[in-house]
């Protein structure tokens, strides 16, 4: 029996483990793959305060070592169910079942992929899913944003302030995002909007990095556009499978909780990218981890 079980050993989950252990609570972290989460494959992080140019593996290992040193236990098992049993939570994995008085969900989210050849090979070599993370690597270069919602529009606006030119490509004939934002984008001199087009092919250069993107149109031949970066902004998929019936979620599947990270189910807390919020970054994941652990400790102390 543990005081707190944390589902997910990404940035949010490991930060929650650090805070919970420093409050002297027993902690088990359950992780389905390896520790680190989404950031593990990133070569260079430039925007985490106080750690300029750290790699994803270095960042994750430092967090993991800190959590372990402070006494958190970690098991590498996929959580498949979380349910209440009288005063306890039963957390079921593919191999076992664990008991805890409180649960923190820190299962993250995945970027929706284009699902076309070379996407994986060129990720980090021109293909990105996060303009805030990688935009500055494309300073004064020509880039493309693919998507039609607010994320794509904000990405295009953000990149227009950094890059020489931004092509904003959307498959429909109008954007899904806010009209005021669309109007702002239309006024930016270095943004070219291309509607009714989908990304058909990613073309690498001799250096193995993205050189161009081939766009497919319904009523005209495909066109090749030379760009150094493609920012894919076609949505996120929150990882809520194991507990989708337990806690309240918004229409996109994100778990609803305010800054204190308390979910609709008493004793269950949420942290990181799986929580409904505007900015999904390492710094907000660590902030959530700290908040969720502090709320869980407060809940346990008042049982």
Ligand X SMILES: Cc1cc2nc3c(=O)[nH]c(=O)nc-3n(C[C@H](O)[C@H](O)[C@H](O)COP(=O)(O)OP(=O)(O)OC[C@H]3O[C@@H](n4cnc5c(N)ncnc54)[C@H](O)[C@@H]3O)c2cc1C
Q: Is 173 a catalytic residue?
A: no
How far is 240 from 151, CA to CA, in rounded Å? 21
Please state, as a whole number, how many other Cβ atoms lie within 10 Å of the Cβ of residue 149.
17
CB count within 10 Å of CB 117 equals: 10
Select 13 or 126, whichever has its Cβ closest to ligand X.
13
Which H or E run includes 66? helix 56-69
Within residues 73-102, the interface with ligand X by CB under 6 A covers 78-79
130 included as an active-site residue:
yes
Query: What gap in Å lies between CA 21 and CA 248, rounded to an integer?
Result: 27
Rg value, the chain, Cα:
21
113 binds ligand X (CB under 6 A): no
Active-site pick, 85, 95, 96, 134: 134
Please identify which residue in 7, 28, 197, 234 interacts with ligand X, judged by CB under 6 A.
7
Segment interacting with ligand X, rule: CB under 6 A, options 37-45, 135-143, 160-168, 211-219: 37-45
Q: How far is CA 80 from CA 1, 131, 245, 261, 275, in A?
A: 18, 32, 12, 22, 19
Q: Which of 91, 157, 213, 239 binds ligand X (CB under 6 A)?
A: 239
- Minimum distance from residue 262 beta carbon to ligand X (Å): 17
Q: Annotated catalytic sites, by residue?
A: 130, 133-134
What residues make contact with ligand X under the rule CB under 6 A? 7-13, 30-33, 37-39, 42, 45, 47-48, 78-79, 106-108, 111, 129-130, 133, 239, 242, 272-273, 280-283, 285
């Amino acid at each position: 029996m543990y005081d707190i079980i944390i589902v997910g050993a990404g940035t949010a989950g490991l930060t929650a483990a650090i805070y919970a252990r420093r409050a002297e609570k027993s902690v088990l972290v359950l992780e389905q793959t390896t520790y680190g989460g989404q950031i593990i494959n990133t070569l260079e992080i430039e925007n985490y305060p106080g750690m300029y140019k750290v790699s994803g593996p270095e960042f994750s290992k430092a967090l993991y070592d800190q959590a372990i040193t402070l006494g958190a236990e970690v098991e590498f098992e996929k959580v498949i169910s979380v349910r209440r049993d009288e005063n306890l939570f039963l957390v079921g994995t593919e191999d076992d079942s664990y008991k805890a008085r409180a649960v923190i969900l820190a299962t993250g989210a995945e970027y929706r992929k284009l699902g076309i050849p070379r996407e994986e090979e060129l990720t980090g070599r021109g293909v990105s899913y996060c303009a805030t993370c990688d935009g500055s690597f494309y300073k004064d270069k020509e880039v493309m944003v693919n998507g039609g919602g607010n994320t794509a529009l904000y990405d295009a606006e953000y990149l227009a302030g950094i890059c020489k030119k931004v092509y904003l490509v959307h498959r429909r004939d109008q954007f899904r995002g806010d009209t005021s934002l669309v109007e702002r984008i239309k006024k930016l001199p270095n943004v070219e909007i291309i509607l009714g087009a989908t990304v058909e092919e990613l073309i690498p250069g001799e250096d193995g990095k993205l050189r161009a993107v081939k766009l497919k149109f319904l009523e005209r031949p495909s066109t090749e556009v030379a760009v150094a970066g493609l920012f894919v902004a076609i949505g996120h998929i929150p990882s809520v499978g194991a507990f989708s019936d337990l806690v309240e979620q918004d229409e996109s599947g994100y778990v609803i909780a305010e800054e204190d990270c308390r979910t609709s189910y008493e004793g269950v807390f949420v942290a990181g990218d799986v929580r409904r919020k505007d900015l999904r970054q390492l710094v907000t994941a660590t902030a959530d981890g700290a908040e969720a652990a502090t709320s869980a400790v407060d809940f346990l102390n008042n049982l």
